[in-house]
Amino acid sequence: MIRLAFALARAVLPAAAARAQERVLSIGGAVTEVIYALGEEGRLVGRDTTSGFPPEAGALPDVGYMRQLSPEGVLSVAPDLIILSGGAGPAETLATLEAAGVRMLTVPEDFTTDGVIARIEAVAGALGVPEKGADLAARTQAGLDAARAQVAQYDGERPRVLFLLSNAGGRLTGAGQGNAADAMITLAGGVNAVGGFEGYKALGDEAIAASAPDILLVMSRGDDGASEGVQDDDDYLTHPAIAQTPAGQAGRIIRMPGMFLLGFGPRTPEAIAELHAAFRRQMSPQ
Amino acid sequence: MTASPAMPPAAPSRAAPRLKVPLVMAGLAVLLVAMAGLGLSLGASGLSPRDMLRSDLDEAGRAILFDIRLPRLLLGALVGAALAVSGALMQGLFRNPLADPGLVGVGAGAGLGAVIAIVLGGMIPAGVQALTGIYMVPVFAFLGGWLTTLLLYRVASLRGHTSIATMLLAGIVLAALAGAATGILIYMAADRQLRDLTFWGLGSLAGANWTKLAAAAPMMILGLAAAPLLARGLNAMALGEAVARHMGVPVERVKRGAILGVAAMTGAAVAVSGGIGFVGIVVPHILRLAIGPDHRSLLPAAALFGAVLLIAADTVSRLVVAPAELPIGIIMALIGAPVFLWILLARRAVMEI
């Protein structure tokens, strides 16, 4: 289904393979990562606010938040191809850009390993470098297979993992189903401790206590992982609701950079392996 | 609710108004033309209007000037004029210097409409979705503002008489109710929808295009054209409703006209630009200080000044973090609030506040 969508997107852009686009605007951190991984960053003329990796991308002109693009800002970097992550907008801006004759490719969001490969192939196709795309896709697929093999070998107890998006003023926001955090927990051999809702929601103290997570998973602030979050581990572990859970009592918390963990891009194999290794470390008897 | 000292009855103002009013009007008109020229010439892409005349202008350049900057400029001017005139009408109607279009529930209702479209967009019947297309949020914002105002008007009207005090209180209650409904939807919203909501509340003209302009302009132009007809009535009502009635002013018709005009203008403005506050309060007050409270000159001057202010704020919002954009609501409050405070402090004695 997803492959079909990508195939359609490519069919609409028949010139993609034939004519190399020289001025490319990347909207969405995951797309930007793929472009850098393909080694095609020389053609980038701009990026959006969510494109924080690799750090060099920060030097490109920032056309704004991906859901709040302004048509003139986008056109001012004179792109001849815009590659957008699913969810980019608003629709009025995209319609204006289309009317202005700029070629656009939207890469749908998809939190599966197949989605990672499909996204790489779609971006490479749009950039007219399908060979490089096939190469990167093959490498990424190999990485994914290796990481999943490791996960499959694990015969210990599958940890219950609670992903927390934020701890604003003691109110915790956690990940339910149908989002990148839930998908990563499952891929790395864990079980999402909370369920029954889609996306990210504020969790009540009782709901957290009832979810009884073995491990907390949170994002570190800087996307490069260099700067740690303003909330240190104790802010989470000593939270009254968490303190009573297995994770709180044993002090089990894992921190990973947001884009690395949730980006579903070329670094995802590494992220799965790293998350799984962290699960193993945390769950092994001390 | 007696006549506020900030708005004395329509007596001749202190300075010779015969000379002052045309002077201020002419100044504002010149400023509007200059600001429009500036807004059309400046932008992230560095194209100037002189390029418009070039025959070798490429497709993207033509799109920037004719399909992005021009409709945005016109929409900005109309939104600014509509919000400023709505504010002046509300303050005149309620005889209260704090009144703004938000008082009649347009703001809260439009906000609720926008939130419904953003959060529940996927659940809205396909037929409606097909009808509104990508303009679901503005359409729902407009419907929300319009329906709230009509409801409020019904609540406050009894046997053909509209009680301004009831309307004020009911407006606060309805706003609280709309706020609660909005809160429930915010709770249901996904992470990204929350960001959309935040940005909607900060206001932006970034989505301006000819389609939006064509949809919203008639409402605003109609309201702006009808507003001067209310001027005499509002002047008389500044003395109190009873006095106005004795003077032969059709008080109920003036009230109805003002409320419906404000609902149409603000509803359309909020629908296409999101939450841009401040214009409706600041513009009429500055103008009252400059040319006095006579609505016959205040309303057209407010339209001109509102348009100037909004175009100026939008130009800043497009340039300050280019190629990205800062929401216009932020700029408006950031420039407007200190200026207004300074004027208040400087003229404290005159305003008697």
Q: Which element (helix H / strand E) includes A247?
A: helix A246-250
How would residue B169 be classed by pLDDT, with cut points 50, 70 and 90?
confident
pLDDT of amino acid B6 = 47
pLDDT of amino acid B198 = 82
Residues of A in contact with B135 (CB under 8 A): 92
**Chain-wide mean pLDDT for chain B?**
84
pLDDT of B16 > 80? The answer is no
pLDDT of B58 > 80? The answer is no
pLDDT of amino acid B283 = 92
How near does any CA of chain B get to the CA of A19, in Å? 19
How near does any CA of chain B get to the CA of A173, in Å? 10
ipTM of the complex: 0.72
What is the distance between the alpha carbons of residues A269 and A281, in angstroms, rounded to a whole number? 18
Instruction: Indicate yes or no: CB of B323 within 8 angstroms of CB of A71.
Output: no
Question: Which of A226-235, B31-40, B169-178, B219-228 bottoms out in mean pLDDT, i.e. has the lowest?
Answer: A226-235
What is the distance between the alpha carbons of residues B252 and B247, in angstroms, rounded to a whole number? 13
Residues of B in contact with A49 (CB under 8 A): 324
Q: Choose between B122 and A202: higher pLDDT.
A: A202
**In percent, how much of chain B has pLDDT > 90?**
26
pLDDT of amino acid B1 = 40
Q: Return the amino acid letter for B333.
A: A
Please write the tens of the pLDDT for every residue from A170-229: 778 889 998 999 999 999 999 999 988 888 888 888 888 889 999 999 988 654 433 444
To probe the interface with B, which of A51, A70, A111, A179 has the most B CB atoms within 10 Å? A70
Please write the tens of the pLDDT for every residue from A61-85: 999 989 889 888 999 898 999 999 9
pLDDT of amino acid A195 = 86
How far are the Cα atoms of A31, A209, A242 from residue A249, in angstroms, in the given order?
A: 39, 12, 8
Question: Which of A240-249, B162-171, B339-348 bottoms out in mean pLDDT, i.e. has the lowest?
Answer: B339-348
Which of these, A159, B269, B310, lies nearest to B318 by C-alpha position? B310
pLDDT of A250 > 50? The answer is yes
Instruction: Find the Cα–Cα–Cα–Cα dihedral A194, A199, A204, A210, rounded to 10°.
Output: 0
pLDDT of A18 > 50? The answer is no
Closest partner residue to A75 (CB to CB) among B64, B187, B192 is B64
Instruction: Indicate yes or no: CB of B206 within 8 angstroms of CB of A68.
Output: yes
Using the Cβ of B184 and the Cβ atoms of chain A, whether some distance falls under 8 Å is answered with: no
Instruction: Indicate yes or no: CB of A65 within 8 angstroms of CB of B64.
Output: no
What is the distance between the alpha carbons of residues B219 and B223, in angstroms, rounded to a whole number? 6
How near does any CA of chain A get to the CA of B191, in Å? 6
Q: Which element (helix H / strand E) includes A106?
A: strand A103-107
Identify the closest residue of chain A to B272 by CA–CA distance. A92
Q: Choose between A283 and A183: higher pLDDT.
A: A183
How would residue A286 be classed by pLDDT, with cut points 50, 70 and 90?
low
Using the Cβ of B325 and the Cβ atoms of chain A, whether some distance falls under 8 Å is answered with: yes
Alpha helices in A154-245 (DSSP H): 180-187, 205-211, 233-237, 240-243
pLDDT of amino acid B349 = 63
Window 193-212 of B, Cβ < 8 Å to A: 195-196, 199, 204, 206-209, 212
Instruction: Indicate yes or no: CB of A92 within 8 angstroms of CB of B207.
Output: yes
Using the Cβ of B43 and the Cβ atoms of chain A, whether some distance falls under 8 Å is answered with: yes
Using the Cβ of A69 and the Cβ atoms of chain B, whether some distance falls under 8 Å is answered with: yes
pLDDT of amino acid B18 = 61
pLDDT of A10 > 60? The answer is no
Which of these, B212, B268, B240, B211, lies nearest to B81 by C-alpha position? B268
Using the Cβ of B340 and the Cβ atoms of chain A, whether some distance falls under 8 Å is answered with: no
Q: Which element (helix H / strand E) includes B70?
A: helix B70-94
**Chain-wide mean pLDDT for chain A?**
86
pLDDT of B164 > 50? The answer is yes
Residues of B in contact with A46 (CB under 8 A): 323
pLDDT of B3 > 50? The answer is no
pLDDT of amino acid A188 = 96
Mean pLDDT, residues B158-175: 83
Window 217-276 of B, Cβ < 8 Å to A: none
Closest partner residue to A92 (CB to CB) among B59, B134, B192 is B134
How near does any CA of chain B get to the CA of A156, in Å? 34
Mean pLDDT, residues B183-188: 85
pLDDT of amino acid B263 = 87
pLDDT of amino acid A126 = 93
Sign of CA dihedral B339, B305, B223, B226: positive
What is the distance between the alpha carbons of residues B233 and B248, in angstroms, rounded to a whole number? 9
Q: Count how many pairs of residues, chain A against chain B, have C-beta atoms within 8 Å.
A: 104
Instruction: Indicate yes or no: CB of A200 within 8 angstroms of CB of B191.
Output: yes
Please write the tens of the pLDDT for every residue from B290-349: 898 999 999 999 999 999 999 999 999 999 888 888 999 889 888 878 877 887 787 776
**In percent, how much of chain B has pLDDT > 70?**
91
pLDDT of B171 > 70? The answer is yes
DSSP label at residue A177: B
pLDDT of amino acid A20 = 58
pLDDT of amino acid B281 = 86
pLDDT of amino acid A128 = 93
Using the Cβ of A165 and the Cβ atoms of chain B, whether some distance falls under 8 Å is answered with: yes
Please write the tens of the pLDDT for every residue from B87-99: 999 899 888 777 7
How would residue B11 be classed by pLDDT, with cut points 50, 70 and 90?
very low
Q: What is the pTM of this model?
A: 0.80
Sign of CA dihedral B128, B130, B136, B142: negative
Please write the tens of the pLDDT for every residue from B205-221: 888 888 889 888 998 99
pLDDT of B57 > 80? The answer is no
To probe the interface with A, which of B47, B48, B62, B68 has the most A CB atoms within 10 Å? B68
